[in-house]
Amino acid sequence: MAKDRHDNRDNHMNHKGKNPMKTKITIAIVTLALAAPAMAGNDDEIARRTQESRKVVKTFMGKLKGELQKAMKSGGPVKAIEVCRNKAPLIAGEMSQQTGWRVARTSLKYRNPNNAPDAWEQLVLKEFEARKAKGEDVRKLEHAEIVTVDGQKQFRYMKAIPTGKVCLTCHGEKLDPAVAQTLNQFYPHDKARGFRVGDIRGAFTITQPM
Ligand code: HEC
């Protein structure tokens, strides 16, 4: 009975004498034909924007590492906390201004609530964890995608940040009491502790308006 009704609908001719099912298929084929070159273009665009993002991440990372090393050497870890606190957002702001993109760092276990991931970033960070669990090299984890937000296209890029030995001073399992005390003072809701070498500490995140 149900099948009959289905067949009736498919074979029903509309008032212009066209089979609606056939029309639908034709539209689908035309749409596909139009979409194919556009999709190839998207791939090129993603590749180009990924290249640009990698460069900016490299510069950002270099500046952060430089500032951190300088501060650790000259003033020790407690003093270096202040540098991370002041310089990291400053450098991120400079990079954003220079590029016209949003350039930042984020993490599932963040220290500064300003660095909390949005919904998309959360998904990518979880995907990074899953890829790491499957044996991928953390240093090579990255994700690029064109997303649409409120009808507006954006290119988004993330690159994982591995935890190195030097990071453990402020993000490790056992912190020096003076370090812990200073961190408690600035970040009462700090989640960015308990990391081990090789863990994904977080990620660089870039949003390019299109
Ligand atoms: C001297 C202490 C110190 C060391 C060493 C340190 N960090 Fe941090 N880290 C901080 C502080 C403080 C913040 C919060 C910065 C802010 O307020 O934006 C932070 C924030 C971050 C963030 C941003 C996400 C979040 O948790 O808010 C990432 C990612 C990060 N650190 C990665 C690293 C990595 C990777 C290393 C090692 C290469 C490292 N850190 C070493 C103190 C440190």
Confidence class of residue 99 from pLDDT cuts 50, 70 and 90? very high
Question: Does the CB atom of residue 161 touch ligand 1 within 6 A?
Answer: yes
Q: Where are the domains of the chain?
A: 38-209
Q: Do the Cβ atoms of 80 and 72 come closer than 8 Å?
A: yes
Residue nearest to atom 43 of ligand 1 (CA): 170
Strand 152-162 to 200-209 pairing: antiparallel
Q: What is the CA radius of gyration of the chain?
A: 25
Instruction: Check pocket membership of 191 for ligand 1, CB cut-off 6 A.
Output: no
Per-residue pLDDT averaged across 145-166, rounded? 96
The Å distance, Cα 35 to ligand 1 centre, comes to: 43
- pLDDT above 80 for 41: no
pTM of the model: 0.83
How much distance in Å is there from the Cα of 83 to the middle of ligand 1? 10
Q: Kindly tell me the burial class for residue 10, based on how many C-beta atoms sit within 10 Å of its own C-beta (0-12, 13-18, 19 or more).
A: exposed
The encoded tokens of residue 181 equal 């005390």
- Of the candidate ranges 48-62, 77-91, 134-148, 192-206, the one whose mean pLDDT is the lowest: 77-91
